[in-house]
Amino acid sequence: MNGSLKILILEDSPTDAELLERFLKKEVPGCIVMQVNSKKSFVKALDNLLPDIILSDHSLPQFDSAAALQLARRHYPNIPFILVTGTVSEEFAVNIIKLGADDYFLKDRIKRLPAAIATAIQKRKSENSIRNSEAIRRLIMNSALDAIVCINTSGRIIVWTPQAEKMFGWKEAEVTDTQLTDTIIPRQYQERHREGISRYLATGEMRIMNKVVELTALKQSGEEFPIELLVIPIKENDNEFFCAFIRDITERKELEHKLLEQQRTEQLKITATALEAQEKERNALGLELHDNISQILVGIKLILSRIKNNKELVDEIVATSLSYLQIAIDENRKLAHTLVTPDLVAEPFTDQIKSLCRTMLEVTGITVTLDTTRYNDNSLNDKMKIAMYRILQEQCTNIVKYAKASAVDIILCNDDKNFKMTIADNGVGMDTGKITAGIGLRNMNSRLSIFNGTAKIDTKPGKGFRLSIETPL
């Protein structure tokens, strides 16, 4: 036992006090003993000595052991208190133990007193340790951002933290010892909750145990809202209970819903743009067939019809018809070339670009300069190459139709992180304030959005038009 043990004796009999002190110093070497015989001296000794244990007689003038115990518990609740008296009824002994005394001894039977002192002190230390642990645990639980709700194996609430009060609306006193199904569990989950507890007690298995799941819960107002839930079983000595860590995910669900709506809206826009592009291609194809190839074929028909009345001109008419047929074939090949997906296996991407510039720009008299010195053909996958090809094709169409340009510069380049394509003409340009998101530009942006790419336009009236494309690799 600790040699510096401090013992406070409350005894009005100097003889009995002296005998008890001698006994203690013999049995507990090195202990410090202080004797007091009144309420005033008792209170003073409590503050000055701060004893490790109190040994009290039962009956003192105007002050008894019950009053001394209450006084000690009020000021120093953790100091052990043992009643040591000459005579006391069994009923009183039971009552003073109920009041908080640690033990009692008759003065003629104190041989076990040193062992009782050691036991009482150790018991108080253990209780203090548990109390401190409980206080720390309560502090942690109360400071948690999530609501923490614990229930016993009967489904009754035993822990309800401040965050639970804030989240659900009930105060701790209102829900403690009530069934969880009577508070936060919606009707559609109540039977499953009861079955889950019964299954766990019978088999040790519960489907949602130790898993993060998303459910709904009820507020005191009756509002049902989404939560994220983690339930863990806890065993402490002979006690078993369940702790639920609950997070309100209303804001997250609202954001997810908004994101889904935005994605749906964007998808509808992309679909609408794709349909418009298809209609544009079909219309262009129809016009090309009607205004060009069909007119050539009609001309051939008219020329051939002259054979009947001008047989002497057969050779000339056939030669002319063959010439026009070749023109029709060339126009049909050109039209097919603009519609068919480039064959990147048969022809490298840069060669496809050169062919596109030749058939769309150079045939109209536009000079094309293509710079690929800083471009690595392996940097783009096939899907990206086709997207860049279609964007260039779209811009070439715009240049031929609107730019009135005589020269076009095209630059392809890339580094480890990004691919860039610049298409610049020396045409009439336009006022940036008049640029609208027409189908051509929307189609480009739709293609770029798949690869998180961007398109930038730089133009002024009379200063040409520059389209800069950039996409991450």
Average pLDDT, the chain: 83
pLDDT of the residue at 107: 84
**Which residues lie below 8 Å from residue 253, measured CB to CB, with a gap of 6+?**
226
What does the pLDDT look like over 172-214, one tens digit per residue?
899 988 899 999 999 999 998 888 888 888 887 777 777 888 9
pLDDT at 282 over 90: no
pLDDT of the residue at 405: 93
Average pLDDT over residues 39-54: 92
pLDDT of the residue at 60: 79
pLDDT of the residue at 1: 47
pLDDT of the residue at 12: 87
Least confident of 111-115, 229-233, 317-321, 351-355: 317-321
pLDDT of the residue at 54: 94
Least confident of 120-134, 182-196, 218-232, 389-403: 120-134
Local confidence band at 368 (pLDDT 50, 70, 90 cut-offs): very high
Average pLDDT over residues 448-467: 89
Local confidence band at 216 (pLDDT 50, 70, 90 cut-offs): very high
pLDDT at 272 over 80: no
pLDDT of the residue at 10: 93
What does the pLDDT look like over 135-162, one tens digit per residue?
656 666 666 678 989 898 888 898 898 8
pLDDT of the residue at 313: 75
pLDDT at 2 over 60: no
pLDDT at 332 over 90: no
